[in-house]
């Protein structure tokens, strides 16, 4: 569904993403992990067109075949079916939960050019929004103003916004960041659910979550892929242990520890 060849991003003398060959299969849940500064967010930004690579290509599989999207703008990659969520909650705080998702659904449709018409004219977008809210567990909060939601519910809303327009590929950037331990299970269930009918690339610091939900794990360190494979295979890799996991054992990393490990790459490398 999504692949890169030789993807590289240099900032002056710093190589943030280093010659990465990557492929995400249909309905696969792949986690991208690595230490802070490894290049994970930069890689996401290259995939979605927020950044232009120094060299290399990004391609998205369509019915007609592979389409290169290396130099497409973010709104163009989104229109082609590649959507993402962000580390920092990115919703309209003074709009209702329903309005947030409806506007996102409308923006990915032919009605986006008619943005300022009466919202009642777009019944199909409202219906889509209600269906998404049911899926992400926010149906009862449809008319709640987004800024009134708990942090965990805001993360659910962000996933709902990313689902609008029925993307083929979904990039989730730390959907559990800042979420209370009581809400983590809900987010995990949501991630697993959307992976049943989408290709999902997940950045997540909580290794218990990564090891439990992933079909495959890819490890970045200093911008380069140092390992990839099934979770158990990656967990036992000595290179990964030295670079990142540091003796990780199942259940050793709690949600609170995960929050403290939030990647500071946003807007940098």
- Give the pLDDT confidence of 1-44 residue by residue, as tens digits: 999 999 999 999 999 999 999 999 999 999 999 998 999 999 99
Do residues 174 and 138 share a domain? no
Do residues 4 and 68 share a domain? yes
Total of domains in the chain: 2
Do residues 126 and 59 share a domain? no
Rounded to two decimals, the pTM is 0.84
CA distance 15 to 111: 41
Do residues 155 and 174 share a domain? no
Last residue within a domain, chosen from 133, 165, 197: 165
Average pLDDT, the chain: 86
Last residue within a domain, chosen from 149, 165, 181: 165
Average pLDDT value for residue range 207-229: 94
| Res. 99: pLDDT tops 80 | yes
Do residues 201 and 255 share a domain? yes
Give one DSSP letter per residue of 175-191, joined into a string.
TTTT--HHHHHHHHHHH
Domain coverage including residue 129 = 92-165
CA distance 170 to 163: 8
pLDDT, tens digit (0-9, with 9 covering 90-100), for 38-97: 999 999 999 999 999 999 999 999 989 999 999 999 999 999 999 998 766 678 999 999
Last residue within a domain, chosen from 130, 165, 200: 165
CA distance 196 to 189: 11
Q: CB atoms < 10 A from the CB of 13, how many?
A: 5
Do residues 61 and 192 share a domain? yes
Going by pLDDT thresholds of 50, 70 and 90, the confidence category of residue 248 is low
């Amino acid at each position: 569904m999504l692949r890169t060849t030789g993807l590289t991003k240099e900032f002056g003398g710093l190589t943030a993403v280093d010659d990465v060959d990557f492929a995400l299969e249909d309905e696969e849940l792949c986690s991208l992990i690595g230490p802070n500064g490894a290049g994970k967010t930069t890689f996401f930004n290259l995939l979605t067109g927020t950044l232009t690579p120094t060299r290399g290509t990004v391609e998205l599989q369509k019915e007609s075949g592979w389409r290169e999207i290396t130099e497409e703008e973010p709104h163009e990659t989104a229109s082609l079916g590649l959507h993402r969520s962000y580390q920092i909650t990115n919703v309209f705080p003074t709009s209702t939960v329903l309005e947030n998702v409806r506007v996102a659904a409308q923006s990915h449709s032919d009605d986006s050019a008619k943005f300022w018409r009466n919202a009642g004219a777009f019944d199909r977008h409202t219906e889509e929004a209600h269906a998404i809210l049911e899926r992400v567990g926010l149906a009862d909060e449809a008319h709640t103003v987004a800024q009134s939601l708990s942090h965990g519910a805001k993360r659910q809303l962000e996933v709902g916004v990313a689902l609008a327009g029925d993307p083929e590929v979904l990039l989730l950037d730390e959907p559990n960041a800042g979420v209370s331990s009581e809400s983590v299970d809900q987010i995990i269930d949501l991630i697993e659910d959307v992976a049943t009918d989408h290709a999902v690339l997940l950045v997540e610091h909580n290794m218990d979550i990564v090891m439990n939900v992933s079909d495959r794990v890819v490890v970045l360190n200093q911008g380069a892929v140092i390992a990839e494979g099934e979770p158990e295979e990656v967990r036992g890799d000595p290179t990964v242990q030295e670079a990142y996991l540091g003796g990780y054992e199942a259940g050793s990393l709690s949600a609170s520890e995960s929050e403290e490990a939030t990647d500071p790459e946003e807007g940098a490398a």
